[in-house]
Amino acid sequence: MKLYTEMSREELEQELAVAKDEYRKFQDMDLHLDMSRGKPCTEQLDLSMGMMDSLDSDADLRCEDGTDCRNYGVLDGIREARVLIGDMMENNPDNIILFGNSSLNVMFDTISRAMTHGIMGNTPWCKLPRVKFLCPVPGYDRHFAITEYFGIEMIPIPMSSTGPDMDMIERLVSEDETIKGIWCVPKYSNPQGYSYSDETVRRFARLRPAAPDFRIFWDNAYGIHHLYDIDQDYLIEILAECKRVGNPDLVYKFASTSKITFPGSGIAAMATSPNNLEDIRRHLKMQTIGHDKVNQLRHVRFFGDIYGMTQHMRKHAEIIRPKFEAVESIFSENLGGTGAGDWTCPKGGYFISFDSMPGCAKKIVAMAKKAGVTLTGAGATWPYGRDPLDCNIRIAPTYPTLEDLKLAAKLFTDCVKIVTLKKLLEQAS
């Protein structure tokens, strides 16, 4: 395909006419497709139905140390579940606390705790005139929603395929003690699917922030969510690296089984240093007597160990890999060479990131919506929902069926074409 920017007015008009025809066909189809959120599809959920049998009425609901999982207590979570999640997170089970069903909730509570009580004896953030967070962009809208909710000022940090701009981060955190944290999705990032390079992780571990209560919020949501068996991204384990360079308390690391078993009924976890854990436990024990241990045990009995979990993740991959590949191939076929957009081809995670020409994203999402395909709102991947170039769109290919997804991807490319071509024609006139 020829670059749009090298086409004549006539060629652009002809392309537009074709794209409009295609779009109208979709309008007649009365589609109702949702590509807005990173939701597993039904076949993925079916993979975990065996978990419903892993505890029945004859089961012994005591854990290995004899604790009756049905009763109160065990604030950190049961040992065997911490071992399993430890293997999943590549962390020592002793450095892990298990929580309820939502790692987002754990992150929210972590910020909330810092607001009302401060981190490790430092001033509570609610008593400070200004608190700032660094936000690699594009990023995860729900992260940004939490910091916005607490009135924390967000500073966008540009992402590249090796991770966020480390020069900028190092400079900012060393100069400004009102910067208290950074949101990271370090592996198969949301939405680009990028994984931080070894250098990026090493530089993160070596940060020397001005604020003693600066923490990296390391949301390793997709740690084992590979699409391929051999061609996988590898991420240096951050807590170990932090410990090695004498910076042990720098990171709160989060993960969950939400996209491994059931999104609403998994186990969330935090791994961090013993000092941080002690700080957190002092607060956590006021908040609850303990989380759902029966569900922890259910997960352990279902998976057995990390090998069981890894085998399980291969089944997920088999279901969703064709979806990622279908989107990428339709994008390539319809937009390749036109310059109307760039997109990522991640090796894991839940998203593809699409960048249109500047000023087109909102219109593309609106056009898709009008033809029955819901995408994540344009701008959502930026703090305050403000994408300054109005170009980034997050594509979530997992939830629709492969058939529906192909329709949606094709429609999407038509929307991209129409919006882009109209813009170029306007600019030319």
Q: Which residues bind a second copy (CB under 8 A)?
A: 37, 39-40, 42, 45, 48-53, 55-59, 61, 68-74, 100-102, 104-105, 108-109, 112, 115-117, 124, 126-127, 142, 145-146, 149-150, 258, 262-265, 283, 286-295
Mapped onto helix, strand or coil, the DSSP state of residue 155 is strand
Q: What is the 3-state secondary structure (H, E, C) of 122-153?
A: CCCHHHCCCCEEEEEECCCHHHHHHHHHCCCE
Give the tokens for residue 279.
Answer: 């700080």
192: left (phi over 0), alpha (psi -120 to 50) or beta: alpha
Tokens of 342: 């760039």
CA distance 130 to 149: 14
Work out whether strand 132-137 and strand 179-184 pair parallel, antiparallel, or are unpaired: parallel
CA distance 359 to 349: 27
Phi then psi for residue 287, to 5 deg, are -85, -30
Q: Which helix (H) or strand (E) holds 199?
A: helix 198-205
Helix boundaries (H) for 74-197? 79-89, 103-117, 141-149, 166-175
Kindly state the tokens that stand for 7: 């086409």
- Least distance (Å) from a second copy to the CB of residue 40? 7
In the chain, count H helices and then E strands.
13, 13
Instruction: Compute φ and ψ for 143, nearest 5 degrees.
Output: -60, -50
Residue 162, token pair as written in the block: 């090796």
Residue whose C-alpha is closest to residue 30's, from 373, 273, 304, 262: 373
In this structure, what token pair is assigned to residue 154? 């967000």
Q: Which two tokens stand for residue 303?
A: 């998976």
CA dist 54 and 381 (Å) reads: 38
Q: Which is nearer to a second copy, 118 or 339 (CB)?
A: 118
Which residue is associated with the tokens 């991770």?
A: 163
Of residues 36 and 334, the one with the C-beta less far from a second copy: 36
Q: Which residues contact 121 (CB under 8 A, 6 or more apart)?
A: none
Give the sign of the dihedral formed by CA 45, CA 232, CA 336, CA 354: positive
Q: What are the CA-CA distances from residue 206 to residues 194, 217, 245 (Å)? A: 21, 15, 7
Neighbours of 270 (CB within 10 A): 26
